[in-house]
Amino acid sequence: MIPTPANMLFPTHAVPSPGPLPPGARQLSLHTPDCAVLHGVSIPPVMEAQRRILVLGFGGNAWNGADVAAYLHPLYPAAHVVTFHYRGYRPSTGSPSSKALIADASLVRDLAVKLVKPDTTVAVGLSIGSGVAASLARDGLVDAVILVTPFDSLKAAAADLFPWLPVALFFNQEIDAGAFVSGTDLPVAILAAERDALIRPARTQGLRQKVRNLVFDRTIAGAGHNDIYDRREFTAAMREALATLAFVEER
């Protein structure tokens, strides 16, 4: 089979099964207008906080939603964490596409806000999920976003990886994160990997230049696109980013 942009970008066959969830985790589901059923996870905070913070997690294209929640929960123990399996990523039904994931994100946000009733909602997007999170900022559906190894244009990121191919002629899965953030004054945090070979530095720099309210910007020295999550500096930066965003919201 000749790979197409959809099955290259959304390798549903390669996504591992979810690992164990912490006590108190709750299974969620929602039905989309086109009859897909999305499944997700809500993990309550284990620490008291003055404000009720909701963290919406959007993972990379090889992550399942439950593992995204399990990763974010210990990072943000005072926040409610809600994540969903992208459509087509078992047990969610449907077929993944950039347009569908962006449309689904607003449904996930609405369900999570109704469930948690937060004072502050922060979308955290990892890799391709950074574009999904950025779409919520464009629509004013969250109070702030944290974008990890992000890009300005998914089409441009793909073209960087395959410079010998006419990517622009057949690529139909664009996520224009640069346009999403350029139209909002919501606070944005960016965390990049110095040695990212998948999202090239030019793509992240292009996004920085379009952000109107960049309140936190950190590049993790020596980190690559995938091993950034194993770095203690990254863990510290993620916590600092949320604390910075919360402070901005309080001012």
pTM of the model: 0.94
Residues of the chain with pLDDT > 70, as a percent, come to 94
Phi and psi of 62, rounded to 5°?
-115, 15
Specify the fold of 5-250. Answer: Rossmann fold (3.40.50)
pLDDT of 251 over the 50 cut: no
More confident residue, 249 or 197: 197
Confidence of residue 172 (pLDDT cuts 50, 70, 90): confident
* pLDDT for the residue 248: 57
Residue pLDDT, tens place only, 147-166:
999 999 999 998 888 777 77
CB 237, CB 76: distance < 8 Å: no
Average pLDDT of the chain, as a whole number: 93
SS3 label, residue 226: coil
Q: For the chain, what are the domain ranges?
A: 5-250
Residue pLDDT, tens place only, 79-107:
999 999 999 999 999 999 999 999 999 99
Rounded to an integer, what distance in angstroms lies between the CA atom of residue 158 and that of residue 201? 13
Rounded to an integer, what distance in angstroms lies between the CA atom of residue 206 and that of residue 251? 28
